[in-house]
Structure 1
């Protein structure tokens, strides 16, 4: 939002989220893994639909709202139009697929690595670790299939 006084923009109002996905998991806080994964895929699909690639999906660039468990993707400074050269190092080690071009496969790889991170580190209040890991493994398959390619550019 923004702050307006006497028809003049006086400032912007931002929400400060307390925890990244990495911090939430490190603190052994419960997270809704399904919701996190769905929201990350949704963010990737939205960016792809407007022909952009995030280029830095990783657990430090995903915030979790403590109240709603909503997932917010941050750090868009490496975002590039699909097909454009990546002129400097993009991504985070272990979460990037080395490529000189911004393309959907970069995001798919990063998200698959985030799912592995969740699968390997998630805290479960119920103690049903193996059952939850199997759920996350299934999500890996569904997620990678769900990330959409951008719509084709109309010839003009």
Structure 2
């Protein structure tokens, strides 16, 4: 994969998160129809998106360091990211303090950055936002991310998406609005 960056940092260091494909993403019927392993294709797609993001960093977008290659055949087997604290869902569930204004502003800034690069995340939800110790949000998980105007098999999480078949900026703003509503509901509990 010459156009993709291979990770040069040690993946076993505690400050890094290693993202491996999920077995549940493998669908033998899809793989045969698409001529390959869809889990591997999803990982390669995410690596391509993250390669662009690595060249255009933003404080509210997770830092990416490249793909991890298999020691045996050199194939991509995982992606290497910064490790952050808990995701927003777990933080709220554990009743830890969340500055809603900071979180919403940070997610919004990250979304605007993605859109300025021509991409839509397509899966803004509390599980795809992690918090730094400072409380600043960081958007993660770019497997649903697509170029504006394109479509894809993986486009969001049920209950957090507007079910749009095409990648449009409104998809992310819808997700952010759902996150704001969710935070408001949780604040009342």
Gaps of 5+ in 2: 1-6, 17-81
Match of 2:115 in 1: 48
Q: Distance in 1 between matches of 2:110 and 2:119?
A: 11
Q: Deviations over 1:35-67 (max 9, x none)?
A: 00000000110000011000111000000112x
Q: Please provide the CA RMSD for this pair.
A: 1.8
Gaps of 5+ in 1: 1-8, 123-128, 130-156
SS in 1 for 2:111: helix
Q: Which of 1 and 2 has higher RCO (CA within 8 Å, sep 6+)?
A: 1
Q: Is the 8 A contact 2:143 2:154 kept in 1?
A: no
Instruction: Name segments (4+ residues, structure 1) moved above 6 Å.
Output: none
SS in 1 for 2:9: strand
Match of 1:143 in 2: none
SS in 2 for 1:75: coil
Q: Deviations over 1:10-57 (max 9, x none)?
A: 425633222110001000101111100000000110000011000111
Q: Distance in 2 between matches of 1:73 and 1:49?
A: 15
What is the number of residues matched between the two proteins? 114
Using the size of structure 2 for normalisation, the TM-score is 0.57
Match of 1:148 in 2: none
Match of 2:144 in 1: 78
Match of 1:125 in 2: none
Q: Specify which of 135, 144, 164 is matched with residue 69 of structure 1.
A: 135
Q: State the shift of 1:89 in Å.
A: 3.5
Q: Deviations over 1:106-140 (max 9, x none)?
A: 11111100001100113xxxxxx5xxxxxxxxxxx
Match of 1:11 in 2: 9
**Does 1:39 find its partner at 2:106?**
yes
Match of 1:108 in 2: 173
Using the size of structure 1 for normalisation, the TM-score is 0.68
Larger Rg over CA atoms: 1
